[in-house]
A and B are shown apart, each in its own frame.
Chain A
């Protein structure tokens, strides 16, 4: 069953002009419009996610991965001009047009985002448990014991030491903070989790544990995910299907194994050759 279907997604920073689209992109070799100076962070992006499936998005820094991820996670940026259409199972109409109320409900229930920057996703002054609890409390949980129990469960599932549950998040290590974000994202059993650079800034062994944890929890809960990373190995490990982005455009997409073993696009070939 198709969970999410998006077409024509576009995010632009700047005033925009009629020639923005034709002057940017992979063929033009830039994402900045030479006529008006606007940055076309992403354009013409089509994608779909099946229930329980993991979709990977790779590309170099500045290729528009995060803009795409935030757009799909309904994270609104007032500086950006967006376009496109997102259909989501069980919802009528374009998900990008929903009002604050619906967006809030979706974000506390069905669609979760793990931010690239810890500070965007967590309140570091709160305890780790509090950050996870916020998601539950926002969704209307009103029993302290229930919240407590669920938070403990999520800490165990994401392998965060339960003993540290009531310490301020600012005292956690980077890897723990990352896992708190994942625990928080999974708190209300969402259908879709968007992970934006889930391993950025972590050393390799911690990366492996975070990814391992997420892969296990994702399979157990059957939650669909969109994983955005500049790191091909992250996407190779997690994703069933992969999109490759460059200069704000999707240049290649397909099954992860196919993309990795038999890249068609010149850029993908370079990308894979440079890594492996």
Chain B
């Protein structure tokens, strides 16, 4: 990484501490260039100028161009993993560095940016990524899904329907769905090249043998445009159908693995399943969000202190995973997931709670215990 430029150094461009004009306090052995006597003063000076010397949107233009090129290629070959350079970012690889590079390459000053981490806008990782974009790319940030031009997300697709004006960037820890069945990337690339997915089907078969249904919680293997098998990132099964024939562009970017792939708008995305063991989403029978009462959203179990039942008592409650939509629902309980669209009844994600309940009783009974 480049060092932070000295506070009083006016050199534009990338951090050029080494080759640039030495400052008064710059020591020969390359010690701290921040001219200060105390930590507080150092922090104050960084707050002013810490980002001076960085390019717009943190990455230099060549890097952004390379990432964009990879994205274009990914769009042209839906579901195919396109390699890119993956620069070091001010964050450990595997913590969203791929997503950040994709987002920063796409963002412009007029854009509104939203970052979600497992459904929440407020978690540390999401807040930091949002702040990085805010500081370096001069974008407006929001937590409102409908107001965002670009949404970077880890492990969720928002509940509210995304439109063709919006782009979704998903952070990807592991790019190849086949790695579950064969650790050799070389062999797996050959399998992708020839659409030879027999081993993954065996994995699904054994899943049914063991559980009576395909019980892959996240990273559900998914065919894109009938050609490439894709790891849709660790989104829950609940979110996978949202990618099918979606209006928005989805970019999936992995920093550690240096791969980018994409689902262009209106692309067929089909989760692998048997004709007699169909793809199912998570079910939350008889549960509703304790905060907003929703029954048609993806719920998570939260264990909270139940002080009314005495000290050290805990209760398990269900809550919407998408915090921004939950907040809206709390104010308008009847708000639909497509409330912001001109059209109505947009098919987005799993159906209504009634349909889900029907599906539940039907398929669970059929599928349970047929393993032997």
Contact = CB atoms under 8 A, between A and B. Distances in A.
A129 B201 CA distance: 13
Contacts of A123: 199, 202
B196 interface: yes
A199 interface: no
Contacts of A145: 276
A166 B277 CA distance: 18
Contacts of A137: 198, 201-202, 205
Contact of A126 (B194, B206, B210): B206
A143 B276 contact: yes
Interface string A22-41: 00000000000000000000
A195 interface: no
A227 interface: no
Given A101-B194, A104-B194, A129-B209, A134 B199 contact: yes
A147 B205 contact: yes
Contacts of B208: 144
B125 to A, nearest CB: 34
A144 B214 CA distance: 11
A101 B274 CA distance: 23
Given A133-B202, A143-B275, A144-B277, A138 B196 contact: yes
A119 interface: no
Interface in A146-182: 147, 166
B371 A166 contact: yes
Interface residues of B, number: 17
B188 to A, nearest CB: 14
A237 B199 CA distance: 35
Contacts, number: 53
A138 B201 CA distance: 8
A123 B201 CA distance: 14
A134 B275 CA distance: 16
B209 A166 contact: yes
Nearest to B193: A100
Contacts of B372: 166
A275 B244 CA distance: 66
A133 B209 CA distance: 12
Contacts of B371: 166
Contacts of B205: 129-130, 133, 137, 144, 147
Contacts of A126: 202, 206
Q: Is chain A's interface secondary structure helix, strand, loop, or mixed overall?
A: helix
B128 to A, nearest CB: 39
Q: Which of B196, B201, B202, B274 has the most CB of A within 10 A?
A: B202
A82 interface: no
A127 B209 contact: yes
Interface residues of A, number: 21
Interface in B190-248: 194, 196, 198-199, 201-202, 205-206, 208-210
Nearest to A101: B194
Nearest to A162: B372
A130 B201 CA distance: 9
Interface string B271-289: 0001111000000000000
Interface in A85-129: 100-101, 104, 108, 123, 126-127, 129
A173 to B, nearest CB: 21
Nearest to B367: A144
A190 to B, nearest CB: 16
Contacts of B206: 126-127, 129-130, 166
Contacts of B199: 123, 134
Nearest to A100: B194
B274 A142 contact: yes
Contacts of A131: 202
A104 B209 CA distance: 26
B194 A134 contact: no
B289 to A, nearest CB: 34
Contact of B202 (A100, A134, A142, A143): A134
Given A126-B206, A127-B206, A144-B205, A134 B276 contact: no
A134 B198 CA distance: 6
Contacts of B201: 133-134, 137-138
A135 B201 CA distance: 10
A163 B208 CA distance: 16
Nearest to A125: B181
Contacts of A142: 274-275
A131 B199 CA distance: 9
B49 to A, nearest CB: 56
Contacts of B210: 166
A123 B182 CA distance: 10
B103 to A, nearest CB: 38
A123 B206 CA distance: 13
Given A143-B274, A145-B276, A166-B209, A130 B194 contact: no
A134 B277 CA distance: 17
A144 B204 CA distance: 10
A142 B270 CA distance: 14
A100 B371 CA distance: 35
A232 to B, nearest CB: 37
B276 A144 contact: yes
Interface string B98-123: 00000000000000000000000000
B189 to A, nearest CB: 13
Interface of B: 194, 196, 198-199, 201-202, 205-206, 208-210, 274-277, 371-372
17 contacts: A100-B194, A101-B194, A104-B194, A104-B196, A123-B199, A127-B206, A127-B209, A130-B202, A133-B202, A134-B198, A134-B199, A134-B202, A137-B198, A145-B276, A166-B206, A166-B210, A166-B371
Given A137-B198, A144-B276, A144-B277, 7 more contacts: A126-B202, A134-B201, A137-B205, A138-B201, A142-B274, A147-B274, A166-B372
The 6 closest A-B pairs by CB, nearest first: A138-B198, A137-B201, A144-B274, A144-B277, A134-B202, A130-B202
